[in-house]
Amino acid sequence: MIKFAPQLINLFATLILLLSFAMISQRRIVTLINLFMIQGAALVAASFLLGYFTHQPDLYVSGVLTMVLKVIFIPWMLHRVIRKLNVRWDVETLFNVPTTMLIGIGLVIFSFSLALPISRLSDSIAGGSLGIALACVFLSFMMMITRSKAVPQVIGFLSMENGLIFAATTVTNGMPMIVEFGIALDVLVGVLILGVFMFQIREKFDNLDIHNLEALRED
């Protein structure tokens, strides 16, 4: 069974990457949140598998934290926010879908080229997935800078954090638990602050287009 460990983890890594591509091309916020939830579930499965094959109990705790935050609580809270703000509209993007996908493919190629020397130095059974993890980070960052609405940018930030956790997991077989809890707390506080931030934008401008923040310089 252990000899199939890299293939199984790479399978979930590929699923995480495909979900990142689906997220950058998705124009509906409700579907975007659901894709983020599935990506979190894939990250949980990868953490459990890596914990089982490497006998690292910390990875089970990491997977449980990810499940509670990324699969259950944060998607529930985001769905509640968009219901209250009534923002189920199509998401506006700076580029059309074909252009976005082409840029995404370029970022994936760049990520694999960047990760190749590091992957060769890693003794982790999932070291070969580092390129996929970096690609997820870059794709999520691109989603943040190409969307004009606050909600998709929040989801992009959270997805980028998924990629960073997966990168750390694949290279080092997990992080110390104090780091895991620190990241989980930071993400939770950040999401709560961003939720308040979105309500303030909506109250001030009656929509969530962040370009309206430029008007504050004129006040």
Helices 150-172 & 74-85 angle (0-180, nearest 10) = 170
Backbone CA torsion sign across 104, 106, 110, 116: positive
State how far Cα 158 lies from the chain centre: 5
Question: What 8-state DSSP symbol labels residue 92?
Answer: P
Residue 22 lies in a domain: yes
State what percent of residues in the chain have pLDDT above 70. 68
Q: How many domains does the chain have?
A: 1
Specify the pLDDT at position 178.
Answer: 47
pLDDT in tens, 146-204: 877 777 878 888 888 888 888 877 776 655 554 555 566 666 666 666 665 565 555 55
CB 166 within 8 Å of CB 124: no
Judge whether 219 lies within some domain: no
Lookup: tokens for 177: 């638990």
Distance between CA 112 and CA 131 in Å, rounded?
4
190 found inside a domain: yes
Residue 150 lies in a domain: yes
Is 78 within a domain? yes
Q: Which of 114, 103, 120 lies closest to 21 in space, CA to CA?
A: 103
CA angle, corner 127, sides to 124 and 129, nearest 5?
145
Q: Is residue 132 part of a domain?
A: yes
Question: Average pLDDT of 34-51?
Answer: 89
Mean pLDDT is lowest, of 85-89, 184-188, 213-217, for: 213-217
Residue 203 belongs to a domain: yes
Q: What does the alpha-carbon distance between residue 61 and residue 204 come to, in Å, rounded to a whole number? A: 41
Tokens of 26: 């998705």
* The pair of three-digit structure tokens given for residue 182, joined into one six-digit string: 């620190």
Range of the domain at 205: 2-213
Q: What is the pLDDT of residue 39?
A: 92
pLDDT tens digits for range 102-128: 999 999 999 888 888 776 766 665 556
Q: Which of 140, 156, 145 is nearest to 191 (CA)?
A: 156
Q: Is 141 domain-assigned?
A: yes
CB 93 within 8 A of CB 142: no
CA triple 201-206-212, angle to 5 deg: 55
Confidence check: pLDDT of 141 > 80: yes
